Amino acid sequence: MQTTQTQVPGLALSDHFLEVPLDHREPKGAKITIYAREVVAIDQAAANLPYLVFLQGGPGSPSPRPQGLGGWVGHMASRFRVLLLDQRGTGRSTPIHTDALAVMGTPQEQADYLAHFRMDSIVADCELLRAALLPSEEPWTVLGQSFGGFCATHYLSVAPQALREVWITGGLPGLDTPIDEIYRWTYRRMAEKNLQYYRRYPGDEARVRHLAAHLMEHEVELPGGSRFSVDMLQQLGAPFGMSDGFDQVHYLIENAFPAGSARPLLHFGFLREVENFLHFDTNPIYALLHEGCYTQGFASNWSAQRVKAEFPAFDQILKGPFFFTAEMIVPSMFDDHAALRPVAEAADILAQKADWPKLYDPARLAKNKVPVAAAVYHDDAYVPRELSLATAARIPNLRTWITNEYEHNGLRADGPRIVDRLCDMTRGRV
């Protein structure tokens, strides 16, 4: 393993690079590199502190980049060596970019490569990293946010001996819930979120409808070559599950209607804002493998697109309030987003793939002895609380903190309080 060291105000940083198998079933086969940044308070840099491994939400997003003592990372860096893992395919861990995938081979070869970037491979990477950093094989603490919580639950299924305690924020998954049922929950929750949005910003109902009508009547291209379609307009609702999500979307939409204008004026500045608002092209794993987060021995068959037909409010573009979607990945994205077009065939192959391995072992989880604390956000738009609580009932030694104080971005909004609470829960202090 290669390591380099740097500093930011108050924090000592160590960059770790480790070569791991692309396919953990073939340890002598092709290799990729994973990267993790170790963070510790400067005045504790020489101390023998335990490790806290952070598993980021996503999939397809790198870990946070610390700039100082703020947030939960700085807060915990005096008690732990915080390990910020860039999950494989993200950040500095052999990143996946669609232009590189496009020249990798056939669509089938691209899909076969991408199939190695799910949570089972991420957890296997963690175990190799643990062996490199802790030759005595000491267990460590894991914090999983959103998709990172899915990874942490898989970790409990396959290597509980590696875990001293587990903290989960907004990411306790259904263990064997059919994917269509998951999307039924999230469409219902997003319908509620849309109505809440228009109650906060009632003037946006007409604005958004006018914008949708304009996109139906005109071909609009974003500066980077993507097609600004009605489907893409719906995707702008992705942050509705965050505490500031309604405001983000409102301030974006109002820029399409300059002062004194009753109709959209899609100037360069607005179109550039739309382009910057979405990250499916810069974080392609999200689009390619989001439904793969839920598939265990079955194909997704574009579940979000199929289930959408059961919720006609999301298709009544001009007849009622325009409903935004959230984490729903649909085939049209691979036509609309310029950077995704080269991997459209690979995406369809992944959607038809039926031999995904199991992610969770309910029988093993039913014998869990690792202390686990999970913050379950009552109004979560992405990970339905109903499924989280059903899972919690099946895993002994797991305590839940059910709260409507926070939305899905609670860790970003009030991280120090949340991690302190979860730590106290696993250690019996509350």
Q: Which residues of 301-316 are buried (b: 16+ CB within 10 A; e: fewer)?
A: ebbbbebbeebeebee
Q: How many whole angstroms separate alpha carbon 233 and alpha carbon 241?
A: 17
- Could you tell me the domains of the chain? 2-175+358-426 (3.40.50.1820), 179-352 (no CATH)
C-alpha 298/C-alpha 310 separation (Å) is 21
pLDDT, tens digit (0-9, with 9 covering 90-100), for 207-222: 999 999 999 999 999 9
pLDDT confidence of 48, banded at 50, 70, 90? very high
Active site (annotated) includes residue 244: no
Q: What is the pLDDT of residue 263?
A: 82
Q: Would you place residue 1 in the very low, low, confident or very high pLDDT band (cuts 50, 70, 90)?
A: low
Backbone angles phi, psi at 383, to 5 degrees: -120, 95
Q: What is the DSSP string of 35-89?
A: EEEEEEEGGGTTS-PPEEEEE-STTT-PPP---SS-HHHHHHTTTSEEEEEE-TT
**What is the pLDDT at residue 6?**
86
Question: Is 15 tagged catalytic?
Answer: no
- Across the chain, mean pLDDT equals 95
* pLDDT tens per residue across span 123-160: 999 999 999 999 888 999 999 999 999 999 999 999 99
Query: Which residue among 16, 290, 337, 408 is the active-site one?
Result: 408
Residue 210 designated active-site: no
> What mean pLDDT is predicted for residues 228-241?
97
Residue-wise pLDDT tens digits, 187-209: 999 999 999 999 999 999 999 99
Catalytically annotated residue among 63, 146, 300, 388? 146
pTM for the whole thing? 0.96
